[in-house]
A and B are shown apart, each in its own frame.
Chain A
Amino acid sequence: MFSRSVAIIIAGMTFAAPALAQDAIIVQSTTSTANSGLYDHLLPIFAEETGIDVNVVAVGTGQAIKNARNCDGDVLLVHAKPAEEKFVEDGRGVSRSDLMYNDFIIVGPGDDPAGVRGMEDVQTALQQIAQTGALFASRGDDSGTHKKEIALWSDTGIDPTTASGGWYRETGSGMGATLNAAQGMAAYAMTDRATWLSFRNKGDFDILVQGDADMFNQYGVILVNPAVCPSVKAEAGQAFIDWLLSEAGQGAIAAYTLDGEQLFFPNAKG
């Protein structure tokens, strides 16, 4: 009885392994891009043109970069420019290219206890939230969004982490989970527009602060360095990057809309 089940298991495991086809590449990316549905739009077009399958692992930017440092991926597509540049400087990535941008917004409960609705200046808005002690839900997970949020806070001269657990709530989870948490406790939160538009649990939340140039959210794409990580499928990975940066890829990015709204704005330097 036992030997038969061993055989079945081994058979099962071996058929599972080749499911990662030889020319399939792994893209380490962020939950915000994956949750927006952008990849579901782009990847079939790319596969059609090149026959290359792309598998996306969606984690926080910090985790994505760590995974790529461990050679667990072929392409890195995230939005935390300084960390990306460091990744390349350290020889982990071949080179970094600007790919596209979207923007961050601050969402919050409709009754807007801190009175920030309609503000354009994100610094003033954040200061006002801090002063009124209105709840603010932060990712707190070292993601690109979190890093951006910290940078914005530091521009205001306020260190919200001194109020951590008080009005400043660090969820330590992804964008969607953080928005769910913000929803649950009627807290303000900073999110990228793409995630917000595709987010279904909006409740009475509105976009309250938007349009500040400081809230610009640049995405970059990097090929993991095959000289450091021999497992990297450099050719297929580079093909994916080249396509994203090409007119066809940039056009495909611009063509992706949700509820009639364009989410990502291609800005590769052609």
Chain B
Amino acid sequence: MTDPDSITQQSGMALRVRDLAFRTGALTLLDGIDLSLQPTGITVVMGPNGAGKSLLLRLVHGLAAPTKGEISWGGALLSPMLTRRQSLVFQKPVLLRRSVAANVDFILRARGRRDRRARDAALARVGLSAEAARPARRLSGGQQQRLALARALVTGPDVLLMDEPTASLDPASVLMIERIVTDTAAQGTKILFVTHDIGQARRLADDVVFLQSGRLAEYSPAARFFDTPRSEAAQAYLAGRLRV
């Protein structure tokens, strides 16, 4: 699935964020974020509500422009060309008013491709082959999110960004999506995964970014983060004590 020329593999460095801040009006939503992520594997972004997790995802995907600071992928500053090689899955899937297959075809065509095999493969990968002809909006919540994932994967992105994709799904669907995500990561795609769910974070994370009130509280490998978190904020959160 991964492109040999992909930026992440070329440079040996994935995401680099320097002194990142985002303000709107008098509100400072993110401030002083410095971060360098591994080029592969699953980075889980955690933190309490309002910590700025989703905003960080939007910033590194170019959906919002930072007030201050720099974002680069593989040594190159964030540009439309780079964000085209990323896919973002939203918490609430935004599906087109078309069939399941047409939803996948849509993004392929937007990239100038008409590739039925790629589409069928993507649907098979998320277990939706049998639903190809159904109206997308008639799918169950879990199926809808899997379709969103198929759409995100069919373009073969370098980076897959996931913003609490399983927050409102049943356990079976959650497991299904987690399996697809770990498979995708195993094939070399870098994944940034925002979640509230500590159990899910333990299952998925190679490393963890922990945000607290718009600041980076901790960035550690998963094993260390869950066993011996350094920051007070992370300790409190893991113990279920933190309320902002």
Complex A–B touching at CB under 8 A:
no
